[in-house]
Structure 1
């Protein structure tokens, strides 16, 4: 069954966002303004990156990027790597994807396995090492970090084990 990413809760606003570089007038605020006509544009050496630090550990189901090769041409990413962890120093690669089709619209990156453990993280890092046509700077029009489907969150709330010790919480999920 395919996931309808538009129905997943957007948890982007719960984090603090940073980028590797920014071109004047095309800053990080454009990633969350709800307008696909605006964009963040990097200004520096590759790889370019977008990071989000959450104040508490979150269940992360997917990340969605709005990309448009027709408007952005060589500024469009053709490879995206996503890492997660508790901070920038212990992040682990969870997704590395080279696009087989030119992106036009939302590109969704599922970060959980079907029926597998939910990705739990404080820190998410989106790295863009390559662009189409060997472009140097990158443009991303919007980013969404998506939480678990409401049905899964309800299941976890209702079927939680009655353990409350520190040791239990340390080992409740796999990394």
Structure 2
């Protein structure tokens, strides 16, 4: 599956960070069109980004932009992704040690290629940096949803109905 076909659902959520240097906050993190700006944490590790949706959403991939050449010891080398209903019931979804030094977008599918995670809240932890750096820099972060026409009932074939009339009334408005 090509990630370019996945919709960016980042703007549907409320974002917070554990800490930030003045002028290098969450707005730089969510500005994915400009990788010259970045979020820089300020404080003790692990640094976190918490993303809250008003209702449960399908989340397929977490994608972040990092550049070891520009940021050196500020570049994360380990990422944990947790999910839950609130910050009090988070469960580990993915624990990644980056095999290569990042130079651009790093895509982390949450489940297998065809599935997506349903969540109210996603928390991304950055516990370790290259060269034992203390603070982290991330030049962009986005959440990607499943392909637009990939409904759970259709893909898993739970219900055998396939007529246009059925799909017209399959959800409440």
> Do the two structures share a fold, i.e. TM-score over 0.5?
yes
TM, length-normalised to structure 1: 0.85
Q: Find the counterpart in structure 2 of residue 132 from structure 1.
A: 130
CA displacement 1:119-148 (0-9 Å, x = unmatched)? 100000000000000000000000010000
Shift of 1:160: 6.7
Query: Match of 2:93, SS?
Result: strand
Are 1:96 and 2:103 an aligned pair?
A: no
Shift of 1:153: 3.2
Q: Find the counterpart in structure 2 of residue 165 from structure 1.
A: none
Structure 1 stretches of 5 or more lacking a match? 163-175
Are 1:122 and 2:120 an aligned pair?
A: yes
Structure 2 stretches of 5 or more lacking a match? 161-173
Q: Which of 18, 21, 41 is the aligned partner of 1:20? A: 18
Report the number of matched residues.
159
Shift of 1:108: 0.5
CA displacement 1:24-49 (0-9 Å, x = unmatched)? 01111001222000000000000000
Query: Match of 2:88, SS?
Result: coil
Query: Match of 2:104, SS?
Result: strand
Q: Which runs of 4+ in 1 moved over 6 A?
A: none
